[in-house]
Amino acid sequence: MTALLPLFVALPLLVAGVLVGVRMPRPARRTILLVVLVADLVAAGALLARTWSGAVLVEHVGGWDGGLAIPLVADAFSGLMLVTTVLLTVLTVAFACATGTADEPFFAPLVLLVTAGVNGALLTADLFNLFVFIEIMLLPSYGLILLAHRGRGSRQQVTASRIYVTVNLLTSTIFLVGVALIYAGTGRVSLGDLHGAAHTSPTALLGTVILLSALGIKAAVFPAHGWLGQTYPSMPPVVTALFSALHTKVAVYALFRVGAILFGETGPGPISLAVFTLSMIVGVLAAIGENDSRSILSFHMVSQIGYVLLGLALFTPAGLAAGVFYLVHNILAKGALFLSVAAVEDRYGRSSLGTVTGLLRREPLTAAAFFGAAISLAGLPPFSGFVAKLAIITASFSAGQWLVGAAALGVSLYTLMSMLKIWGGTFLGAANPEITEDDSHRIPFSLAAPALVLVVISLVLGVGGQLLLAPATTAAQSLIDPTIYLQEVSGR
């Protein structure tokens, strides 16, 4: 199966090229896109099944020895992330097909290019190729933003797009500087040769700090979080849902993977614990101050990323397992929330909270999807958010970080408050007369279904938490002791 690892990158790239070069009807483009993504999901599931118990699969592309070839590596962590990100992509594309967004000629190839970049970033064990795959992921993203606006973006949307492009180009440059410094200090860029590299020389330490800072900016970690709140709410709904599950989460994955290896047994240290705790607090406070559904959800991404990265900062087996669990949970819950809000916006238009009200009885499926995802994000049972937050708080207390655990618990209450703000301003109250008199606004099942699927999965992972805790624990053990991972990557 290791020989098939390059196909996770090559197949989406190849099909994207075919879709650009060959004219075909819209239904054919949509069908090919969905078939490739579903095949990617099935392959990712098979990969996770192979690595579930701790196995590491490696393919040195081109047959070169370790250290020279491009290493593509699959373990429980990368397999889990592949399954989750591809699942979200499939459901988002299904939503795009229902809204007509997928009918744009270049939508399918752009999504496949993004998928290839995400897959490569999750599988690579080489710092320079991590940079390359992140760029493969980002470049078509700029096209998706322009495509979805269809040349009719408002001034605010154009400004937001400029900020998004500028921030990502800048951070990519910073990332590359970090890679160069690490190479200057160690003579290596393969993760198989970089365990504990941050402690080998001042140059390597500086490169590590710069590289991880760049990833922190891409993940919207405090204090470099403002760009996300300025850009995501102004993007088209489908694009926002897709990016929320892919872009920041790939950066978070890279922080876990690269940070654990470069710092070695010491972990990233107490400064990161303070930064990630502040991200959690600042994000939720910013969300409470917003009066628009997507703005609230965007700032909540900052807060939730803080929760996820607390696991890395704690750098204990329990903390890392909780962080990995929380990362998967957050992709599911946040995707369901963005898709629910996108369904409402598609049929009723975008407006401030309280403008479109009383949708509970009129749109019960969308209301159920939003409510389930909202209480999961807030950490209430029986959804996956309860298990995730309980694990993070318990890990904090076990590590003696009582203030961090208390902060995580307090932020959950504010998260619930802001979710209730959207719930009350959209789904409760009396329905607007102009809405009740016009049945053309009704949200069809095809728009409500993607969010419902994610909420059902969150419920299953909440009731049967061991389904996700098992691979999350395996992933945490690999991050704490990456001996097998490093040996397979280096070819020794």
Average pLDDT across the chain, whole number: 88
452: CB partners within 8 A, 6+ apart: 336, 365, 368, 369
Q: Which residues of 405-430 are buried (b: 16+ CB within 10 A; e: fewer)?
A: bebbbebbebbbebbebbbebbbeee
**Helix count (H) and strand count (E) of the chain?**
20, 2
Residue 440 pLDDT level (bands cut at 50, 70, 90): low
Q: Which amino acid is at 283?
A: G
Residues 5, 46 contacting (CB under 8 angstroms): no
Query: Which residue blocks in 289-358 are alpha helix, DSSP H?
Result: 293-314, 317-348
Q: Which residue has the higher pLDDT, 350 or 389?
A: 389
Query: Which pLDDT score is estimated for 340?
Result: 93
| 150: pLDDT strictly greater than 70 | no
Query: Which pLDDT score is estimated for 459?
Result: 94
Tens digits of per-residue pLDDT, 167-181?
A: 889 999 999 999 999
Can you tell me the distance from the alpha carbon of 126 to that of 340, in angstroms, rounded to the nearest whole number?
A: 37
Residue 224 pLDDT level (bands cut at 50, 70, 90): confident
Mean of the pLDDT values across residues 382-405?
92
| 66: pLDDT strictly greater than 80 | no
Nearest to 452 by CA among 337, 294, 325, 344: 337
Residue 436 pLDDT level (bands cut at 50, 70, 90): low
| 389: pLDDT strictly greater than 90 | yes
Residues 296, 418 contacting (CB under 8 angstroms): yes
| 23: pLDDT strictly greater than 90 | no
The DSSP 8-state label assigned to residue 427 in this structure reads: T
The DSSP 8-state label assigned to residue 430 in this structure reads: P
Mean of the pLDDT values across residues 185-196?
88
- For 385-420, the DSSP string reads HHHHHHHHHHHHHHTT-HHHHHHHHHHHHHHHHHHH
* Distance, C-alpha 306 to centroid of its chain: 13
Nearest to 296 by CA among 232, 349, 368, 356: 232
Helix/strand/coil percentages in the chain, nearest 5: 80, 5, 20
Query: Which residue blocks in 219-292 are alpha helix, DSSP H?
Result: 226-231, 237-263, 270-288
**Residue carrying the six token digits 């307090």:** 410
Query: Which pLDDT score is estimated for 437?
Result: 56
Min mean pLDDT across 285-289, 294-298, 428-432 is at: 428-432
Query: Which pLDDT score is estimated for 266?
Result: 82
| Prior bond of 223 cis (ω within 30°) | yes
